């Protein structure tokens, strides 16, 4: 009986050791994916921090933020013929950086309109629908962001 208990104890220890080996193996696999970063954390911090797409994109909105002293509801217009996913990303980022202003992209016409022409940067004033229908340019920020008002 005592021998059986000893045997079970040994088996338990062996199984626990195997489990620990498995954990260590898994941790090692995870570690090697980040090995470079763990080797030089300061360099990685300097290299990565603030250089992500969203932070960089936010720099475009620094100036325009000062234009709205109180929350405004405005219509959003992106690039013509942009694909759905890209259009969504730019629209959501505009809302993200300009909140609590409410930016809506449905077809309802509002007095304030924001153009986010992240590629073309400019539109043709002669053929622009809004400029020819009572809106005027409040400010062109020369980075693709143009605010129109009635």
Partner 1 sequence: MMFFFSIFTSLLLGLLSCLIFFKEKKNLNFRFLLNLSLPIGMGISSVIFISLTLFGLSFFLISLIEIALIIFLVFKVKDTKKLIDQFEWFNLDKLLLSPILLLLTVIYFYAWLMDSGIFYFDSIKEPHGLWDAWNYWNLKAKIISRAPNYWPHVLHQMGSDDFHPDYPLLQTGYVARCWLYIKNESVWIPIVVCYIFTFCTIGLLASSVSIFTNKTKGFIAGLILLCTPFYMTMGDSQYADNTVGFFYLATIILLTFARREASIKPQLLIAAGITAGLSAWSKNEGLLFIVCLFSSQLTLLFFKNYRELLTEFKYLFLGMLPILLLIAYYKIKIAPPNDLVNAQGAQTFIKLADFSRYATVSKWYMEQFSTFGKWVLNPWWLFLFGILYKGISIKGNKYSLISNFTLFLLMLIGFFFIYIITPLDLVFHLSTSIHRLFFQLFPVFIFIYFLAIKGNSPIRKPASLT
Residues of this chain that interact with partner 1 (CB under 8 A) are 13, 15-16, 19-20, 22-27, 29-31, 34, 37-38, 41, 44-45, 48-50, 52, 54-55, 71, 73, 91-92, 95-96, 99-100, 102, 104-106
CB-based contact 142:113 (threshold 8 Å): no
**Residue 132 Cβ vs partner 1, minimum distance, rounded to whole Å:** 28
DSSP classification of residue 46: H
SS3 for 23?
Answer: helix
**Residue 118 Cβ vs partner 1, minimum distance, rounded to whole Å:** 17
- Cβ nearer to partner 1, comparing 25 with 119: 25
Tokens representing 56? 């960089």
- Cβ nearer to partner 1, comparing 54 with 138: 54
Tokens representing 37? 């970063």
* Residue the block writes with tokens 């104890």: 9
Locate all alpha helices (DSSP H) within 68-137, ordered by sequence.
84-98
**Residue 102 Cβ vs partner 1, minimum distance, rounded to whole Å:** 5
């Amino acid at each position: 009986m005592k021998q059986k208990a000893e045997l079970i104890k040994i088996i338990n220890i062996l199984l626990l050791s195997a489990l620990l080996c498995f954990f260590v193996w898994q941790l090692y696999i995870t570690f090697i994916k980040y090995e470079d970063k763990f080797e030089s954390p300061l360099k990685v911090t300097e290299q990565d921090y603030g250089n992500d797409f969203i932070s960089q994109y936010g720099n475009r909105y620094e100036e325009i933020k000062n234009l709205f002293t109180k929350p405004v509801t405005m219509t959003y217009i992106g690039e013509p013929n942009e694909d759905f996913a890209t259009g969504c990303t730019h629209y959501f980022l505009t809302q993200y950086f300009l909140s609590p202003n409410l930016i809506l992209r449905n077809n309802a016409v509002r007095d304030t309109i924001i153009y986010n022409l992240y590629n073309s940067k400019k539109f043709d004033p002669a053929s622009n629908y809004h400029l020819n229908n009572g809106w005027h340019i409040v400010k062109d920020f020369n980075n693709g962001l143009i605010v129109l008002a009635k």
